[in-house]
Amino acid sequence: MRAFVITGPGRAEVRDVPAPEARPGEVVVDVERAGVCGTDMEFFSGAMSYLHTGQARYPMRIGHEWCGTVAAVGAGVDGCWIGRRVTGDTMLGCGRCRRCASGRQHVCADRHEIGIRNGWPGALAEQLPVPVRALRVLPDSVDAALGALVEPGGNALRAVGAAALPPGGRLLVLGPGTIGLLAAQIAAAQGAEVHLLGRDGGSLAFAASIGLTRAWTVETLPELPWDAVIDASNGAELPALAAELVEPGRRVVYVGLASGPSLVDSRNLVLKDVTAVGVLSGSGGFAGVVELFAAGLVDPRPLVAATVCLEDVPAVLAGERHPAWGSGPKIHVVPSSKGT
């Protein structure tokens, strides 16, 4: 089968690789669509921390936002899975440790992460092996674009839940990227007054175009009491700003990751009695996001600027944008199509 392989910093190619076989407890999925995210770009550039801690190494196959159809099942897996449209969790715990037993498989010390950690191949390929326990069935009302947005949507849903907003509360989201916009859409669908903080007019104009009109820069941000702040940015200075802006006795949620250390003055948390919550993954959020998408309560499809083939991915990872693409922050890939 064809698969996208990163061979070193700034180097990648589409290769013919052996197709996966469904091992016991696993299925093989024909990948319909996959998303490219900031983590993938860090693997391509060589900046991703897992490359420096030994939890990932080249050559590697990326892609952890995906949807597709089950094509084969391994021993112990019910054959009724064949033909089902699915997506799945990225975090694959060992299933034996204390964390896995308590429902925290996404922070299992020995976990695999699809397309990210400990060598599990990713979804930028025609087929993908997945443990059946990680699958989530997609209803017909959730198309391919929505299906490949479920994983980042799970992150966003968990972040909004962790914010613990009061009814009708005011939320500030830092960073109008994919997860920030998804968090804003989800919170708005739940009745929150949502504001966005961004750096440039282009991203804020796009947010306004999808109905998120309360969009600001640092210079224009109004002085309002923020019942919760979600930091979905990659700015090293913004975690501290989130702690400064949030109302006393409320919550700040960290779901974005900067490339370098982010400093937060713990005195701001203590003296304001603020709760700070970190969100690592979409684990636990998949079912809720699928329900929101299926019911039409949240429609993030405008976030997808373009859908490309595997041969186009190196340029995408390098940050190139085609003039004909839309303004959304997300690029999707159809692994089964071929470039010219």
Q: Give the mean pLDDT of 32-47.
A: 96
Give the model confidence (pLDDT) of 161-207 as tens digits.
Answer: 999 999 999 999 999 999 999 999 999 999 999 999 999 888 899 99
Same domain, 135 and 44: yes
Task: Provide the Cα torsion 305, 210, 204, 242; round to 10°.
Answer: -110
Identify whether the C-beta of residue 90 lies closer than 8 Å to the C-beta of residue 116: yes
Domain extent at residue 181: 156-278
Residue 114 lies in a domain: yes
Beta-carbon neighbour count of residue 176 at 10 Å? 26
Give residue 339's pLDDT. Answer: 59
Give the model confidence (pLDDT) of 305-336 as tens digits.
Answer: 999 999 999 999 999 999 889 899 999 999 99
Secondary structure (3-state) at 316: helix
180 Cβ contact partners less than 8 Å away, ≥ 6 residues apart: 156, 173, 174, 196, 230, 232, 233, 256
Same domain, 169 and 196: yes
Q: Which of 40, 76, 86, 30 is nearest to 61 (CA)?
A: 40
pTM: 0.95
Give the model confidence (pLDDT) of 212-264 as tens digits.
Answer: 999 999 999 999 999 999 999 999 999 999 999 999 999 999 999 987 889 99
What CATH number should be reported for the domain holding residue 263? 3.40.50.720
Share of the chain above pLDDT 70, in %: 99
Same domain, 100 and 175: no
Answer whether residue 340 shows pLDDT above 50: no
Count up the domains in the chain and report the number: 2
Q: Which of 110, 12, 66 is nearest to 330 (CA)?
A: 66
What CATH number should be reported for the domain holding residue 28? 3.90.180.10
Q: What is the Cα–Cα distance from 229 to 181, expressed in whole angstroms?
A: 13
Split at pLDDT 50, 70, 90, the class of 300 is very high
